[in-house]
Structure 1
C-alpha cells in the first residue's frame, strides 16, 4: 500500500509541476486582467472628449450672444433677446441644448466707472438682476462712460457612460457655464425697450 501511495503522490506532484510550467493560457488571463482597465480608460477619454466639445460650444454660444447684442445700434427688444435661444441651440447641434439657460445683462458704467445694471433678461422672461443695482465686473472692463453686455450661458450635461452603477446618479450630471463681457460697438448705451 505504501508503494501505491508513493506513486500516487509522485503522479500528483508531476501534475502540479506540469500545471505550473504550462503557459498556454497566460495570454487569456493577462487580457482578462487588463481589459476592464483599458475599457474604463477608453470610456473616460470618450466622456472627456464629449464634455470638452460641449464646453467649447457653451463658450462659443456666450461669446456669440454677447457679440450679436453689442452690434445693435441703440436698443434691443424682448423678442430680439428671445431669438438668442435659437442662436444657442444652433451652436449646440448635434449635441442638443434645448435646456440652455441664458442670461443677458446690459451694464452702464458712469463717469467714475461704477457698473450699474441698465437692464437684464433671461430665457424665462425674468430679470436675473435688479435694474439700478451695482454689479461686479472684471476690473479690466471698468472704463468710464461705457456700456457693457454680459452674456451668461449654462448647459446641464449628463455623463453618458462614466462608471454607471459605481457613482451616485446626482454626480452624473454637471452644469457647464460660461460668460462673456462685450463693450457696445457704437460706444453708446443699448437700451432694452421692453425688458
Structure 2
C-alpha cells in the first residue's frame, strides 16, 4: 500500500487524531521549549553571584579602610595611598582597575555639626573643602566626636547575558561607603591633606 492510498484511506481528520495520540518525541519537544529558559536562568544566576561577590568585597574594602584609618592618631598622604593597595587586595581576584577611593576626616562639634577636617582621594587630591558641612547619619552624630568616612567604588564588567541584551549595560559601578568613629583620644590629624 502506498502512502497516498494510506492517506486517502485514513482521511484528513484521521491524521490529526493519530498525531494527537502519538506520544513519541514529546520529551524532546518539551526540552526544546524549556532549554532556553534554563540556560537564561543559569547565566543570570551566575552573573548575580559574581556581582554580589564584588559588592561584598567593596563593602569589606570600605569598612576595612575606615577601620584602619580610625585607629591612627595622625595620617599622611603616603599612608592614605597604601589604602589603595589594601582595597585591591581585598577585591582580589576581581579587578581593581578604575576603582575610586575617598577618605575623609569629619569633626563633630559640641552642637553636633559635622564638618570636613581633611579629605583625600586616590589621585592625591582634596575632594571636599575643608570646614564644609557634611551630612552624617543621625546615630553617628555625637558631640565632640571624630569620624572617618571611606567612600569606595569599583566598576564591575558584566560577563554574560546583559551586554548582549543592551549595549548600554556592559559595566555597572558598585559603590559603598563606611563611617568609623575615632577609637580614642584626639581627632586624627592629616598634616599634608
Whether these two folds match at TM > 0.5 is yes
SS of structure 2 residue aligned to 1:171: coil
2:9 and 2:111 mapped to 1: Cα distance? Answer: 98
2:185 and 2:17 mapped to 1: Cα distance? Answer: 88
TM-score normalized by structure 2?
Answer: 0.91
Unaligned runs of 5+ in 2: none
1:5-48 CA distance string (max 9 Å, x none): 99752245454443332221111110000000011111111111
Paired residue for 1:46? 46
Q: CA RMSD in A?
A: 1.8
Aligned length: 189
Paired residue for 1:21? 21
Equivalent residues of 1:147, 1:187 under 8 A apart? no
User: Which segment drifts farther, 114-123 or 96-105?
Assistant: 96-105
1:144 and 1:163 mapped to 2: Cα distance? Answer: 48
Equivalent residues of 1:146, 1:187 under 8 A apart? no
Q: How does 1:97-176 map to 2 (within 5 A)?
A: 97-166=96-165, 168-176=166-174
Unaligned runs of 5+ in 1: none
TM-score normalized by structure 1?
Answer: 0.90
SS of structure 1 residue aligned to 2:168: helix
Equivalent residues of 2:151, 2:177 under 8 A apart? yes
Deviation at 1:164, TM superposition (A): 4.1
1:28 and 1:15 mapped to 2: Cα distance? Answer: 21
1:58-86 CA distance string (max 9 Å, x none): 1100000000001112x100010000000
TM-aligned CA distance change 1:59 to 1:6, over 3 Å: closer
